[in-house]
Structures are given as C-alpha cells and as structure tokens.
Amino acid sequence: MIVRQFVLVFLLFTVTNAALAEPKVATWPQWRGPTRDGVVPSSPAWPATLTESNFQKIWRVEDLGPSYSGVVVAEDRIFITETVEKKDEFVRALDRKTGRELWKTSWAGALTVPFFAAENGGWIRSTPAYDGESLYVAGIRDVLVCLDAKTGMERWKVDFVKEYATPVPAFGFVCSPLVDDKAVYVQAGAAFFKLDKKTGKVVWKSLQDAGGMNGSAFSSPVFAKILGKDQLLVQGRDSLSGVDPANGDVLWSRKIPTFRGMNILTPIQYGEDKLLTSTYGGKTMSMYLKSEEGKFSVGDSWTQKHEGYMSTPVIVDGHAYIHLKSRRIMCLDLADGKECWMTEKAYGRYWSLVTQKDKILALDERGVLMLIRATPEKFDVIGEIKLPFRETWAHIAIAGDEVFIRDLQGVTAYRWR
C-alpha cells in the first residue's frame, strides 16, 4: 500500500513538473519580433532549406483592404490591420489555427500621400504592439488606439493632431509602438512620447521638432542598455538619440544626414557601446558611445558610402546584412566597416529580414521568399520560392514553425518544417 501511494505521488509530481516545464507557445508580439531585432528564437530550429514541399499553406484570408502593418501573433490569435474604401481603418483578430475572424473594430482614418509617393498608398503603415492584454495600434492620421486584445473593445485613444495642434503627417503614422510593463512609446505629434499604457495619459514628451513637410519621424524606437545605462534609441528625421525612459531626458544625440528626413529603418545596437544605422540620401555608419561621470558622448567608428533605405538590417556573428537603396544586398564587417561582399544582382525594393543562428529569411515586396546562409564569404542562397500573391510590404512574422505573411490583398499562414 505504501509503495502504491509512493508511485502515485511520484507520477503526480512527474506529470505536474512536466506540465510546468512545457514551453510557452511562441509569439511575435511587435515590430521585428520578441526582441525587436529580427532575431528568431533558436527553438524550433529552422529547416536546412526552403522549398515548396516544406513550406505549406495552413490557411488564407482573402479580400482584405491594403496594409503595410506586419502580422502580430498572440498565443491563440493573430492581429492584422487594413484600410477599407480609402476612409476607415480596421483591426481584426483571427484565430491562429484557422484564420476564422474573432472580432473586428474600426475608426475613420485615411489620407492622400504626396504625389511622388502615390504608389505607396494612403493606407495604414505601423505594426501594432501586443503586451498579453492590450493591442496598441497606430492609425495613419496620427492617432494611437489601445484595444482589449480579447474583445477588440477600445480602451483609450489619443489623437495627436487634435491634442498638440500638429499637422497630419504627410506619410502617416509610420513608427511602430514600443511597450514595456507600464508604458507605450511612439514617435508622433512631431515629437517622441511616453504614455501610460493603462490610460493613454502622456508621461513625458521629448525630442520635439518642427514637423516639416513630412511630419513625424518614420523610424521605430528600441530599448537598449549602453555602457550599463538603460535608454531608448530613437532615430528622428535628422538625428539619432538616446533618451532616458524614466524622464525623457536626451542623454546624447548625433546628427544623421539624410534626404528629406527619410530616416526609416530601426537603428541597431551591437556590443556594449556601438550602434549601426543607414539612411536614404546619406550613408551607412557605425557610432561608438563613451560615458564619463554619467555624461555620454558619441563619435564615429566608421562610415560606408552605400545607402540603406526602408529595410532594417540584421546582425549575425559580427557582420551586418543590409538591403540597400540600390536593391543590392551587402555584408559588412562591423569591426571596421569593410565590405565583405555585395551582390551584382538587384532584388526587390524592400526586404523584411529575420535571422536564426547562421540563417537569414528574407521576404521582398514581390513575394519572393529566400533562405540565405549568413556568411561573410559570399551571398549564399540555400532556398527560394515565389509566393502566389501580389505585393507585400509588411514585415514577415515567425512564431514556432508558423510563418505569417500579410500582402496587400490578404494574409496567409504557413507551416515550415
């Protein structure tokens, strides 16, 4: 009897601990993934190649309005945005397994972009952020909306144009929200804001600029710890700055030359004190920071003449892989900025890039998906497929063995084995 009780207790203990040890369901909660740097968790490992046979469609939802927002993936659902009939913005929650609609909500929101960018459309651009309870969505007319992720009910809304008497940005609200345990951070209203994520109340306002013809900045902020100091990396229309998350103080700032304020990609920290960025009409550059008696200074490590544009690079083993304005792909050694290789062939106008260990998955706006081996030796494509839809400018999302791709007409879930 004692032995039997012992066995039962042992089995209960084993089952309970096994349940506790089960891995959490993989998610993709924000712009560029869980750590906002395009790095995909190492488990499950990516396949050795990419073919039509190992990249299978699970489901597809058609006939959506256009959007540039990347898919946000929660444990049991995904979130997408769309602009409908050039007048309303919709947010939808879809069942992650089937694509069945769980809820949708909307508000008025659309604009006409300048004539020279007309092909880029007047639809929603920013990728929402999800914190497990709420979804933070940036509408194109400089509004930020907080939704209950379970029901779609609006919790709060901030209209920066009305609140701060700033013009509607010419290209819309482009920055993707960043959240932590208490706040949400955005570039909007011709400034950089920290808002209480429960109420939408402004905590502080920093990096205010004149707005200009293009309005608010395009780049999305990221968290960083530089020389032991927590800060926010914020690339505005003409500068890159470190901002204290507690009070909004600018810890350091460095001018970033660019064409018409087109600082679009997200800056990247590497090492304890180095930063990488690249601009349209400017150049690719690495900066270093120093801290003496709590005061930061910034200087150039190296510069490179080639220009990035919209696509944020990824870093693998001390090398940066960059999609250039010329549509070519370049690998740089971060130690000295020297070019390891650059493709002769020009590819799409935009790539969304993610990486796991020594592989890079790249999706261009034509629907060409490529698996690339990350090596400074050569441009090494180890798998390539053409997906059966039109343009896709939204950032690719990967959660576990599932890949979610939003194109201008729909959203598709794939399983990659």
* Residue 8: pLDDT over 80: no
Q: How would DSSP label each residue in 14-71?
A: HHHHHHHHSPPPP-B-STTTTTTSSBPPSSSPPPS-B-TTTEEEEEEE-SPPP--PPP
pTM here is 0.93
Under a CB-based contact definition with an 8 Å cutoff, are residues 81 and 88 in contact? no
pLDDT at residue number 56: 96
Say what the alpha-carbon torsion angle 256, 258, 264, 266 is, to the nearest 10 degrees.
-30
pLDDT at residue number 210: 54
Token digits of residue 22: 């089960």
Higher pLDDT, 145 or 4: 145
Our CA angle for 171, 406, 263, nearest 5°, is 35
Place of tokens 């959490």: 24
* Residue 15: pLDDT over 70: no
pLDDT at residue number 24: 85
| Residue 1 binned pLDDT confidence (cut-offs 50, 70, 90) | very low
Q: How would DSSP label each residue in 95-121?
A: ETTT--EEEEEEEE------GGGGGG-
Q: What are phi and psi of 146, to 5 degrees?
A: -105, 125
Token digits of residue 203: 């905590």
Say what the alpha-carbon torsion angle 239, 244, 249, 254 is, to the nearest 10 degrees.
-20
CA dist 395 and 110 (Å) reads 21
pLDDT at residue number 345: 95
Q: Which domains does the chain have, with CATH numbers?
A: 26-416 (2.130.10.10)
* pLDDT tens-digit map of 229-254: 999 999 998 899 999 999 999 999 99
Place of tokens 């066995």: 7
* Residue 4: pLDDT over 60: no
pLDDT at residue number 23: 57
Which alpha helices (DSSP H) does 140-202 contain, by range? 160-164
Our CA angle for 59, 64, 69, nearest 5°, is 90
**Cβ-proximal residues to 273 (8 Å cutoff; 6+ apart), any chain:** 226, 227, 288, 289, 290
* Residue 216: pLDDT over 80: no
**Cβ-proximal residues to 159 (8 Å cutoff; 6+ apart), any chain:** 141, 142, 143
